[in-house]
Amino acid sequence: MSAATETAAPPAAGTKTDAVIDVENVTHLFKAHRALDGVSFRVSPHSLHGFVGPNGAGKTTSLKLICTLLKPQTGRIRVFGHDVRDEVKAIRRRIGYMPDHFSMYRQMTVFEYLDFFGAAYGFSLKERNRIVADVLALTDMDGRKDDLIQGLSRGMQQRVSLARVLVNDPDLLLLDEPASGLDPRARIELMEILRELKRMGKTIFISSHILSELAELCDSVTIIDRGKTKYSGPMEHLLHREAEHPTYRLRLDVPIDDFDQTLAAMPGVIEVVPAEGKPEYRVSIDATATDHSALLRNVLDAGASIMVFQKDQRHLNEAFMDLTERGVRQ
Amino acid sequence: MIARTLALLHRALRVDARMLRTHLFRAALVGIVIFALSDAQNSWAGAPGLEFFSWLQFYNFWFITFAGATFFPTCVTEEKEELTLGLLKLAGVNPLSLLLGKWTPRLLGAVLLLSVQFPFMLLAITLGGVLMHQAVASYCALAAHLLLVGAIGLFASVVCRKSTGACLLAGTLLAGLILGPYIAIGVAEVLANAGILSDSTAALIAAACGWVLNTSAILRIDAIMATGFNESPLSPQVIANLVVSVALFAASWALFGPCTRNELASVAAGGGWWSRLIRVGRGRPWSMAIPWKEFSLTCGGAPVIVLKGVAYAALIAAITTYSALAMYGYSNPDLSEMLAAIMLTTMLVVLFVEAAVIAARIYRSEIRDQTWPGLILLPRTLPETAYAKLAGSLLTLAPATALLLTGFIIEPEYLEEFLEHVIFDEAILGFGYFMCQIVLFLHLTTLLSILWTWAAWPVSIFFAGFIVIMGNALVGSCCTLSGPVDDEAIFFVGSVCSSVLIVIVHLWIGQQLSRLAAA
């Protein structure tokens, strides 16, 4: 399926008028290398939007364009309706960008670092006291506020980095691989913070490689590969998209010998894939010849005791693998 | 061990050969030699070959000294900064192989860099006035000097944690070696005249310093270029330089283990005493946050201002005391006039050096630590952020500026003289041209510091100075070639051209800063 069809099929994540981020047909070249090639997607307000793609797909370039560090060569990007080419200050006031690398003044304490950015955004001393206390509490760093940044662990530094992004109370958070290099606990805690931020009404645009967590966390997703948009829309649509033939997961309570062959012989069944080591099968049917009710009846008639019967939902990583191409980008 | 050393050497030479910059340097060096040749052609008298060759060798000496102070000290520190030393150790590369593998390619690179002059040496001999054995002796002296500079650089590179510290240590040791004996002899003489030091002790110091001076390549080259020179190339200078080089290499080898043991911990610690010092009395950020950050963090803040003030005052006091004692018995000096003159000259030099250091570090540290995008994303324009950083950095010039102004207050006549003879006189054009060169130098320093990611900030200062000095020499040479020209016209045209260059470099810095924010 072509990229155009993929992006056109599902409802847009945000309409043209209300989209927080509106990327339209953006192409960006680094000398002869085409980093982005007609990328388009939209992000609706108050949503948590995942941005996934293989290494070198153009994720970081897209983020840098959105946060005004780069200017698009062709196409248009609007953030809160402001063009990234001309209205840089207006955009910067409302966004918080967390890059994929630690970039902190390591000789400052956590408090000094956040206080400095508070002052840089023009907050008064009184306001800074309140803001820094709030972001420290939100990121659970208030106990470490007097520690030097250089002495903190990677997970702690990531929290400080996130706290810094929150100092100006941005409406849109742009997070580039925020969970990379974190241990499981730090990762879970970070996801909790992101959920909390979403509850607070922030729009979060997150680039990540950890697909399982994105699937759980995000309302919508954009998948890009080799500089092109492969899918952009609600997460639900991507995960529940109809496959060519509907597939069901069937798990028996008690194993039955050669039950895969019994299933294969049932009317309308196209394919049966047994799971290894357990009485479980993935059954694909021809939707024009039968449906799930008929299949279920046939299974019961065959004397099987059913533990699980459900539509086989694709995982984000499967969708990701389907939509992206193999091989390393040159 | 030899295989590992050769592997490192092989890699270093291949990398060196692939890099455009080494070839550009060679081309620049040939350009300078050709320029010197054309310049000397105008003023040649009796022995053109000797005159040209002398110039070439003195230029080589200073080039080796200045470039060596920044080229060799980074050979081990670059591995320390990139945390790759541990990987090399894990690969079974022992300290000796590592030192040889990292140091020898640079030594060879320096020799190859200078080897482009070989045809010009033959030309000098053909032109007359210099003989082959003089050429051989002078190149032996320079080779020994190169080895010494390299060994000092290697030692500094092993002992120091960062390239900047290593460059500073190597530079200080070389300055001490070249200038130290003269200073020591002068001080001993003055103290002896004032009766503080006995004559025998002063004589002993003078003898020791004389011996050190005998090991100086610059004096040796001077002696070689004298008419009738007929000594062996293996002079005391060559032997002494070789012995000291071997000793320094041995010391580097011995200290390599202890100095590189805690690679990760030392880099993570990020400064130790410096970090603790600059936190003293830092306070909350001002409403102008970026100048505060620049002043408090990059430049050290109030503690460093106080330390600088004390150090500069002590320096002025020491020079004034020395000058007063030196003049004691010969004349009756006016102490306030002397103090003011010393304050003004010393602080002008200090201001120039401090400005160069600021220019080299102002953006480099942000780019190295990848903090530049964070600043750029503040809701302000790139020039606003860049100039805010500059404003914060300039605050650290306060002690030197205060002492300079104090000099004018002590002796207001100097200010009147300056205004009368420079500002309100025809010399204004010359002064304007000079100031343009300073501003151009500072701009070039900043540009090189953000353009060359491989170079430590002292390297950018050195190369910016080299470009400005050579550019001026080239312009001067072109002016004399075309016959007598009015000085004022030269200064005027030079100032206009320099101003255009300053604007170009200024815009280039802005463009590069913008590009680096998105890199």
Q: Cα angle at A255 between A252 and A257, to 5 degrees?
A: 125
Provide the domain count of chain A: 2
Same domain, A235 and A251: no
Joined tokens for residue A45: 């307000």
Residue A191 covered by a domain: yes
Which run of H or E residues covers position A51?
strand A48-52
Same domain, A216 and A291: no
DSSP B292-330: HHIIIIIS-HHHHHHHHHHHHHHHHHHHHHHHHHHHBTT
Name the residue among B286, B377, B517 with its Cβ closest to that of A119: B286
Name the residue among A92, A103, A125 with its Cβ closest to that of B284: A125
Q: Are A59 and A224 in contact (CB under 8 A)?
A: yes
Q: Are B351 and B435 in contact (CB under 8 A)?
A: no
B476's CB contacts (< 8 A; 6+ apart) are: none
Contacts of A150 in chain B (CB under 8 A): 268-270, 275
Question: What percentage of chain A exceeds 70 in pLDDT?
Answer: 90
Same domain, A288 and A205: no
Q: Cα angle at B415 between B410 and B419, to 5 degrees?
A: 175
Joined tokens for residue B52: 């040209």
Facing residues of A310 across strands?
Answer: A249
C-alpha span between B350 and B151 (Å, rounded):
29
Same domain, A82 and A167: yes
B81's CB contacts (< 8 A; 6+ apart) are: B162, B163, B267
Q: Are strands A95-98 and A172-176 parallel, antiparallel or unpaired?
A: parallel
Same domain, A201 and A273: no
Q: Are B444 and B464 in contact (CB under 8 A)?
A: yes
DSSP B478-506: HHHHT----HHHHHHHHHHHHHHHHHHHH
Same domain, A175 and A28: yes
Residue A123 covered by a domain: yes
Question: What percentage of chain A exceeds 90 in pLDDT?
Answer: 48
Is the Cβ of A186 closer than 8 Å to some Cβ of chain B?
Answer: no
Nearest CA in chain A to B266: A150
C-alpha span between A98 and A161 (Å, rounded):
7
Residue A324 covered by a domain: no
**Domain CATH code at residue A223:** 3.40.50.300
Q: Are A316 and A231 in contact (CB under 8 A)?
A: no
Is the Cβ of A69 closer than 8 Å to some Cβ of chain B?
Answer: yes
Domain range enclosing A275: 247-313
Task: Tell the burial category of B423 from Cβ atoms under 10 Å away from its Cβ (0-12, 13-18, 19+).
Answer: exposed
Q: Please identify, among A206, A225, A240, the residue that sits at the C-terminal boundary of a domain.
A: A240
Maximum Cα interatomic distance, chain A, rounded to a whole number of Å: 76
Same domain, A9 and A130: yes
C-alpha span between B291 and A198 (Å, rounded):
35
Inter-chain touch A105–B286, beta carbons under 8 Å: no
Q: Residue range A8-21: average pLDDT?
A: 58
Name the residue among A93, A119, A124 with its Cβ closest to that of B289: A119
Q: Please identify, among A240, A255, A277, the residue that sits at the C-terminal boundary of a domain.
A: A240
Name the residue among A103, A121, A122 with its Cβ closest to that of B371: A103
Residue A281 covered by a domain: yes
Highest-confidence segment of A6-10, A296-300, B78-82, B451-455: A296-300
Inter-chain touch A150–B270, beta carbons under 8 Å: yes
Q: Are B33 and B63 in contact (CB under 8 A)?
A: no
Same domain, A167 and A276: no
Q: Please identify, among A193, A222, A240, the residue that sits at the C-terminal boundary of a domain.
A: A240
Q: Write the pLDDT tens digit of every residue in A56-102.
A: 889 999 999 999 999 999 999 999 999 999 899 999 999 999 988 87
The pLDDT value given to residue A2 = 38
Q: From first to last of its 519 residues, what are the pLDDT tens digits of chain B? A: 666 667 767 776 777 777 776 777 777 777 777 777 776 666 666 677 888 888 888 888 888 888 788 888 888 888 887 777 777 777 777 888 888 888 888 888 788 777 778 888 888 888 888 888 899 999 999 999 999 999 999 999 999 988 878 888 999 999 999 899 998 998 888 888 878 888 889 899 999 998 888 888 989 999 998 888 888 888 999 999 999 999 999 999 999 888 877 655 544 444 567 677 777 778 899 999 999 999 998 888 889 999 999 999 999 999 998 888 877 666 667 888 899 999 999 999 999 999 999 999 999 888 888 899 999 999 989 999 999 999 999 999 999 999 999 999 999 988 888 888 777 777 888 899 999 999 999 999 999 999 886 666 777 888 888 888 888 877 777 776 666 777 788 888 889 999 999 999 999 999 999 999 887
Same domain, A214 and A148: yes
The pLDDT value given to residue A7 = 44
**Domain CATH code at residue A262:** 3.30.70.100
Q: Write the pLDDT tens digit of every residue in A47-59.
A: 999 999 888 889 9
Is the Cβ of A112 closer than 8 Å to some Cβ of chain B?
Answer: yes
The answer, yes or no, to whether ipTM is higher than 0.90 is: no
Is the pLDDT at A318 greater than 90, yes or no?
Answer: no
Inter-chain touch A93–B379, beta carbons under 8 Å: yes
Could you tell me the strand order of the sheet in which A74-79 lies?
A33-43, A21-30, A74-79, A82-83
Q: Are A71 and A29 in contact (CB under 8 A)?
A: no
Inter-chain touch A89–B297, beta carbons under 8 Å: no
Same domain, A251 and A235: no
Same domain, A210 and A270: no
DSSP classification of residue A148: B
Inter-chain touch B292–A89, beta carbons under 8 Å: no
